[in-house]
Structure 1
Amino acid sequence: MKTREGGRIVTDEGAVIARVRAGECEAYADLVRAHTRIAHRTAVLLGAGADAEDVVQTAFLKAYQSLGRFREGAAFRPWLLRIVANETKNTVRSVRRLRAAAGREAALVEAEPLIPESADPANAAVADERRCQLLAALEELSEEHRQVVTYRYLLDLDETETAEALGWPRGTVKSRLNRALRRLERILGPDAVPPTADAAGREEAGAGMRGR
């Protein structure tokens, strides 16, 4: 399995994990470099805000401490992101605050600009506005629906990875995703989110959201 998330390529994560378990602690740095970017983006999207970096560091530490319980042959990324999500929830709860949509948007843009500097200013403004609308709409969803849309489309995990990251059966992911997209359609309008009655509709919806 090859993985790259803003860092060097990890050609065989299972082999790296085996090395760490065998006492080669420095090998864990390969996993940290490969997954730091998506871990940070996950923390931001789930509401960690200014605490995202601390959340990610704590999540990587907890993942390292739990490698002995990591299931051999499983994918590391969804397992890690589940830890990130739990740590984000704990952090938000401990400080007794939830980020508003505008604050989350600012943190997201700072974490990873989605519009290249070379983009046409008019098109960039439209894309910026659509992204703001989407993130504001996500705030109106239940936590479960917001999570499944975030993992499936904003973080671009496939269905299996989404199920593993959230700890849900795949059938639950499908049903909750379908209901979440229908809710977004009611909020944003029929032209913003395509019909979700079948798999093709869901994939089309995801493509539209990734382009926002």
Structure 2
Amino acid sequence: MRTQGEVLEGGRVVDEGAVIARVRAGEAEAYAELVHAFTGIALRAAVALGAGSDAEDVVQQAFFKAYCSLGRFRDGASFKPWLLAIVANETRNTVRSAVRQRSVVGREAALAESEPLIPESADPAVAALEGERRATLRAALAQLSDEHRKVVTYRYLLEMDEAETAEALDWPRGTVKSRLNRGLEKLGRLLRKEDKEGGEERE
């Protein structure tokens, strides 16, 4: 059983609290363990939130800012939601400062390797997301408001639990629940509309 503050990565357990303590004590090279443990999910978050081809740069900058801010990191807190909040901020800044606006098609291409993991129990309209359904989901996600897209992305694409999502977004857990429900409802309507239009095209 994993203890609190530990992350399973590549078959080994990383005690993030201990690693952070080592970094704070002057062992800067220990930070590489956190980078290794969380790069994957940080990239997925950046891509899902719209960073596109800039995702790697966003993640590198987020890790740098997190390193510089470790002195303010709260002991006993989880590193993942804290890092992903920084990733989200960096993604937003990158998208805002981009010369060109990213199209839905561009975001779909950037998300090609993401694996949407919305469970069947979440909403009937969001079930069976294999194959061509993934592209439909990505296009539908892009039509949601920023807050709804974020909460759905964090809970399902990034497999974060409710508490981690609340911490990453700096929202009360009740807000996470209500916005997630509304986001899933809107997503379901968009997917049903897409299915209906797709069916008419095939007739």
TM-score (norm: length of structure 2): 0.82
Shift of the 185–114 alpha-carbon distance from structure 1 to 2, 3 Å rule, reads closer
Distance in 1 between the 2:114 and 2:137 partners?
A: 16
Name the stretch that deviates more: 100-109 or 146-155: 100-109
Once the two structures are superposed, residues 127-151 of structure 1 have per-residue CA deviations (whole angstroms, 9 ceiling, x without a partner) of 2310111111111111100110000
Q: How many residues align?
A: 178
Q: Corresponding residue for 1:130?
A: 133
1:3 and 2:7 aligned: yes
- Tell whether the 8 Å contact from 2:115 to 2:157 is kept in structure 1 after alignment: no
- Residue type at the aligned position of 2:20: I
Secondary structure, aligned partner of 1:4: strand
* Structure 1 residue ranges, 4+ long, deviating more than 6 angstroms after superposition: none
Q: Corresponding residue for 2:170?
A: 167
Q: How far off its partner does 1:48 sit?
A: 0.6
- Tell whether the 8 Å contact from 2:61 to 2:90 is kept in structure 1 after alignment: yes
Distance in 1 between the 2:108 and 2:84 partners?
A: 20
- Tell whether the 8 Å contact from 1:19 to 1:27 is kept in structure 2 after alignment: yes
Q: Corresponding residue for 2:121?
A: none
Q: How far off its partner does 1:60 sit?
A: 0.2
Shift of the 155–114 alpha-carbon distance from structure 1 to 2, 3 Å rule, reads closer
Q: Corresponding residue for 2:198?
A: none
C-alpha root-mean-square deviation of aligned residues, in Å?
2.0
Distance in 2 between the 1:81 and 1:113 partners?
A: 16
Distance in 2 between the 1:61 and 1:114 partners?
A: 27
- Residue type at the aligned position of 1:87: E
Q: How far off its partner does 1:114 sit?
A: 4.3
Distance in 2 between the 1:113 and 1:69 partners?
A: 32
- Tell whether the 8 Å contact from 2:114 to 2:157 is kept in structure 1 after alignment: no
Secondary structure, aligned partner of 1:71: coil
Shift of the 62–97 alpha-carbon distance from structure 1 to 2, 3 Å rule, reads same
- Tell whether the 8 Å contact from 1:8 to 1:33 is kept in structure 2 after alignment: no
2:41 to 38, 45, 68: 38
Q: Corresponding residue for 2:159?
A: 156
Distance in 2 between the 1:92 and 1:56 partners?
A: 14
Q: Corresponding residue for 1:79?
A: 82
Q: How far off its partner does 1:98 sit?
A: 3.8
Once the two structures are superposed, residues 106-161 of structure 1 have per-residue CA deviations (whole angstroms, 9 ceiling, x without a partner) of 1122xx3649xxxxxxxxxx823101111111111111001100001111100000
Q: Corresponding residue for 2:19?
A: 16
Shift of the 176–65 alpha-carbon distance from structure 1 to 2, 3 Å rule, reads same
The percentage of counterpart residues that share the same residue type is: 69
Distance in 2 between the 1:113 and 1:161 partners?
A: 20
Shift of the 82–17 alpha-carbon distance from structure 1 to 2, 3 Å rule, reads same
Distance in 1 between the 2:103 and 2:88 partners?
A: 18
Structure 2 unaligned residues grouped into runs of 5+: 117-128, 196-203
- Tell whether the 8 Å contact from 1:2 to 1:13 is kept in structure 2 after alignment: yes
1:28 and 2:31 aligned: yes
The structure, 1 or 2, with the larger RCO (C-alpha pairs under 8 Å, 6+ apart) is 2
Distance in 1 between the 2:14 and 2:37 partners?
A: 10
TM-score (norm: length of structure 1): 0.78
